[in-house]
């Protein structure tokens, strides 16, 4: 049996290139053109194949090594023709023909043997994508011809692992028990969790564990809007109208949804590959009540003026606080607004109200020095925290949506919002 040294071939002007993958192991039988290592330079990653057939005797390269042309990768034992015939007809395959009864067991043994040296076929670009996600590509089932792995296979693999991880974590959390009682450390009081909070908790857990949240933080200049809002008076009595900023925000958000319909959609099942784009504009309003957080929907906000929106917001809040709201009014929304402006605070990360794909968090507005037209001037700035479902909305689209929303809350749009 002759021995062959497999070395790094001509790789151009590159020297000391890093080995990022070793695709074979000692004892493995190689065929000609089988990939053996992957190297990566600043510009690209390349698989180096074997020019010979044989069984790997010794590996001389490992991940992280720096290699150049002529460096030894592995030592190969060349298999002669007689040995190749033996390799192609292992005893275990002969036994399959002897009896039908042992077929299932033998097939399993053959499958397990094949898995020992399972090397997935994939392009360098796909291998790099897998490494960036921390995925062992050899564990990914390929969907292309001869089991070749593509990017979509890796995404599905990651998604399935995430679901299993969440399920395992949920199961393990169920088993966790307190080792000590709270009362052992001091005086305590046992109280019932409010019914509304118990009901909403499962929806919050579902949203947080199943939706990939991303939050975009920004500020809107509402100086002119606030001046206009506080100047509004009743045409009959001359008294100032008490219209909250939230009514204007609802109107501005509705206008933004019309321009960015993806934000007015729902994903019922990502595996089906379909999304529901809504043609109605029902804005959810998070209402803080003594019983817990409730989110009624202000229906058809696009067809209502500021006065009507303001009036309906008050009615919805009263119904929630008095537990008079119809259960159906808590469902069927376009997008939700949750405001901390009346309490305080600026930026936060609101949880998306499933099955919606985005939620807008509002902080307390404050006067700030802003650099405009070559000088610092005092402006009223409103903190915005936009959380969105990254499966359907990307960062660039979210930034454009925020820019549109800021424009709708700015001086060029303030008067139109009142219509």
- Residues assigned a catalytic role: 390
Q: Which two tokens stand for residue 208?
A: 């947080």
* Burial (CB count <10 Å: 0-12, 13-18, 19+), residue 265: buried
Tokens of 348: 């936060």
Which residue in 121, 162, 160, 127 sits closest to 142, CA to CA? Answer: 121
Give the residue from 382, 386, 416 showing the smallest Cα distance to 220: 382
Name residues whose C-beta falls within 8 Å of residue 356's C-beta, 6 or more positions apart in sequence: 266, 284, 333, 334, 335, 336
Contact 360, 338 (CB under 8 A): yes
- Residues 6 or more apart whose Cβ sits within 8 Å of residue 416: none
Do 27 and 66 touch, CB atoms closer than 8 A?
A: no
The tokens describing 389, both together, are 């479902």
């Amino acid at each position: 049996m002759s021995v062959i040294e497999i070395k790094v071939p001509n790789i151009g002007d590159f020297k000391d290139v890093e080995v990022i993958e070793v695709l074979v192991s000692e004892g493995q039988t190689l065929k000609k053109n089988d990939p053996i290592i992957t190297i990566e330079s600043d510009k690209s990653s390349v698989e180096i194949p074997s020019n010979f057939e044989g069984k790997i005797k010794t590996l001389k390269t490992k991940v992280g090594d720096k290699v150049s042309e002529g460096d030894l990768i592995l030592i190969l034992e060349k298999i002669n023709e007689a040995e190749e015939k033996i390799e192609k007809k292992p005893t275990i395959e002969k036994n399959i023909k002897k009896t039908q009864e042992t077929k299932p067991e033998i097939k399993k043994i053959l499958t397990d043997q094949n898995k020992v040296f399972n090397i997935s076929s994939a392009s360098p670009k796909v291998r790099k994508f897998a490494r960036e996600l921390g995925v062992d590509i050899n564990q990914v089932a390929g969907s292309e011809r001869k089991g070749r792995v593509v990017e979509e296979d890796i995404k599905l693999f990651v998604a399935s692992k995430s679901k299993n991880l969440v399920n395992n974590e949920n199961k393990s959390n169920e088993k966790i028990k307190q080792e000590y009682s709270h009362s052992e450390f001091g005086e305590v009081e046992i109280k019932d969790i409010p019914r509304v909070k118990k009901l909403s908790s499962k929806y919050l857990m579902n949203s947080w564990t199943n939706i990939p949240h991303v939050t975009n933080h920004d500020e809107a200049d509402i100086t002119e809007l606030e001046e206009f809002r506080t100047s509004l008076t009743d045409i009959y009595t001359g008294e100032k109208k008490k219209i909250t900023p939230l009514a204007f925000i609802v109107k501005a958000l509705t206008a933004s949804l019309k321009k960015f319909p993806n934000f007015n959609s729902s994903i019922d099942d990502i595996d089906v590959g379909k999304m529901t784009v809504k043609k109605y504009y029902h804005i959810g309003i998070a209402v803080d009540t003594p019983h817990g957080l409730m989110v009624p929907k202000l229906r058809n906000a696009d067809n209502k003026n500021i006065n009507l929106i303001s009036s309906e917001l008050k009615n919805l809040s009263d119904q929630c606080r008095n537990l008079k709201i119809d259960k159906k009014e808590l469902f069927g929304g376009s997008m939700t607004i949750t405001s901390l402006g009346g309490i305080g605070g600026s930026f936060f990360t609101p949880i998306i109200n499933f099955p919606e794909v985005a939620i807008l968090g509002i902080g307390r507005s404050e006067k700030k020095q802003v650099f405009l037209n070559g000088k610092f001037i005092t402006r009223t700035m409103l903190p915005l925290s936009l959380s969105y479902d990254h499966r359907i909305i990307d960062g660039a689209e979210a930034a454009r949506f925020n820019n549109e929303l800021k424009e709708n809350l700015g001086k060029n749009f303030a008067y139109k919002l009142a219509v």
